[in-house]
Amino acid sequence: RRLPAVETLGSVSVICTDKTGTLTENQMLVERLWTPHGEYEVSGDGYAPDGTITPSADGDALARRAAAIAAACNDATLVPPDGGGEWAITGDPTEGALVAFAAKLGVVQKDFNAYCPRVAEVSFDSERRRMTTVHERGECDIDVEAPNWVAVKGALESIAPLLDTDQAEALAQAREVAERFAADGYRVLALADAGIETVPDEPENAEQGLTLVGIVAMADPPRESAAVAVAAARSAGITPVMITGDHQLTAMAIARRLGMLDDTREAITGAELAQIDDEELARRVRSIGVYARTNPEQKLRIVDAWRKQGAISAMTGDGVNDAPALRKADIGVAMGITGTDVSKEASDMILADDDFSTIVAAVEEGRRIYGNIRRFVRYLLTTNSAEIMVMVAAPFLGLPLPLLAIQILWINLVTDGAPALSLGVEPAHPRAMKQPPRDPKANILGNGLWQHALWVGLLMTVITLAVQSWSYNGGASEETWRTMVFTVLAFMQLSHALVVRSERESIFKLGFTTNRPLFIVIIISALVQLALVYVPLLQPIFETTALTATELAIVLLVTPIPFIAVEIEKWIMRRREAGAEARSAA
């Protein structure tokens, strides 16, 4: 959304990302159910409402009530397949999984809502971590003796304080089960209900004296691309951090599976984060890989902590409450599928597919674009410095002006401009994501760029003036020696466009055709340059003359010298880097 963010992407050193939908598939499926009467496995494909509960839950009244809560306390709906396709949902994937789970136990959401209409609700939010709906008892087959029924779903710790006093034993069992489910990587939700005589004016007042009905464990497998993307990010010197509202054990299990958490990094909860002051968080932030049970406001503190460490951060978000953190981060990344309009407006970048690997690909693209800007500048500084030095130095050496105005204009427009523009589409090199993030304060002319432009430009100047001196002092006509100078300078610049594609890698390793536009431009430019020399119609315009075989051979003989010199420079750099790596390894 904001073009300058492309350059900043190349400097990103930490990516703070949500778990659900970004690192995982966001294709929820209830696979386990626990009630105080027993534990069950739920099978079935996708959101399809047909499946099995093993062992059979038919005799468990609480299992039936859990299904009723899942269907009633829910804003999603199942969409039947059209023309033999797959079942789909409208609404949140988590709620869609619960509707499918209810159907597998024989509770059809549409029919249930008709018999037991909703009369009040309290929507889910990140602070409460639960949703509550109130229904008329009606003709529903629910074991609650009251005219109205309250259904609640949410995090177990958010529901626990609302349970009736006789639920202590069930709650203790539920906590053990929830930790076991979470440790297996499942997303865990608790289901509870109650009967009430009258519907309160404030629906939140109905959340009391609840009965814990059950716990569902939902599988949300990691994206196949996520582990590869995390590994690519870490090899590029980027620290991936997970920030989620899920249970700590669930987040840790997924993070370990993706390679985001190891023995050197820890996981903390939002409650623990609230007990840490900003100074301590700044000291510990590099060692924390997972934040669980957090709220959107805490993302601001995490961004600030990383900033104090001098990091360039990218932060993902999809909700209205994520907007401040998205604005605060160096790169705010909104979700294109699940994101709200507010989060998208606050962001610098929108992920069309909500996939973590796309963020890493965007970072690589940012590095590629910045690298291409350096190639563009490197090439033009070198070639233009050569032209300036040739024109300035020749009179001091007792030589006439080497080039005419139209010839200088041709070199600037064709042999300078076209290859320089083609360097802007150079693909990302294999080492682009093997290097640490660049310092955003670093000068674009730094890291040897201006030195390269100076010495290569000087080398081109020496070669060009040497050709002019040989031809001029050898008695050649003005048109002849000027044509030689014109051609040798143009050809050297074209050859330099090839070799400048990488600051470290040899052109023979990169290949000559990986940047096809550049290759085509160089071939066409070289042919047109020869046409200016040998086509009679063009000779009067550019004041050139046909070169003899010997003169052309000399031009072609000296043209590769800068190319070879730059390749030697890169070979020396690679040798030095290899030696430094060997010494550091030792």
Positions marked active-site: 18
CB-based contact 236:12 (threshold 8 Å): no
Backbone angles phi, psi at 289, to 5 degrees: -105, -20
Sign of CA dihedral 48, 53, 59, 63: negative
Distance of alpha carbon 217 from its chain centroid, rounded? 29
Q: Which two tokens stand for residue 142?
A: 């629910």
Nearest to 302, CA basis, from 317, 315, 320, 319: 315
Pair of tokens at residue 17 = 């990302």
**Token pair 């001091």 is at which residue?**
396
**Alpha carbons 188 and 250: distance in angstroms, whole number:** 8
Q: What is the spatial distance between Cα 505 and Cα 498, in angstroms, rounded to a whole number?
A: 12
Pairing of strands 313-317, 14-17: parallel
Residue 531 CA to residue 533 CA, distance in Å, equals 5
* Phi, then psi, of 185 in degrees rounded to 5: 90, 10
The amino acid that residue 455 corresponds to is W
DSSP 387-398: HHHHHHHHHHTT
Helix orientation angle between 561-585 and 478-499, rounded to the nearest 10 degrees:
20
**Residue 246 to residue 491: CA distance in whole angstroms:** 62
For residue 24, what is the DSSP state?
B
Cα distance between residue 133 and residue 509, in whole Å: 65
CB 333 within 8 A of CB 314: yes
Distance between CA 512 and CA 519 in Å, rounded? 7
Which pair of structure tokens corresponds to residue 303? 């961004």
- What is the torsional sign of CA 375, 381, 382, 384? positive
Six-digit token pair at 543?
């004041």
DSSP letters for 59-112: T-HHHHHHHHHHHHS---EEE--SSS---EEES-HHHHHHHHHHHHTT--HHHH
Residue 219: CB partners within 8 Å, gap ≥ 6?
28, 29, 30, 31, 185, 186, 187
Dihedral sign for Cα atoms in the order 45, 219, 77, 65: positive
- Give the single-character DSSP code of 163: B
How far the first Cα of the chain sits from its last, in Å, is 46
Residue 323: partners with Cβ closer than 8 Å, 6 or more residues away:
317, 342, 343, 345, 346
Q: What is the DSSP pairing of strand 88-90 with strand 77-79?
A: antiparallel
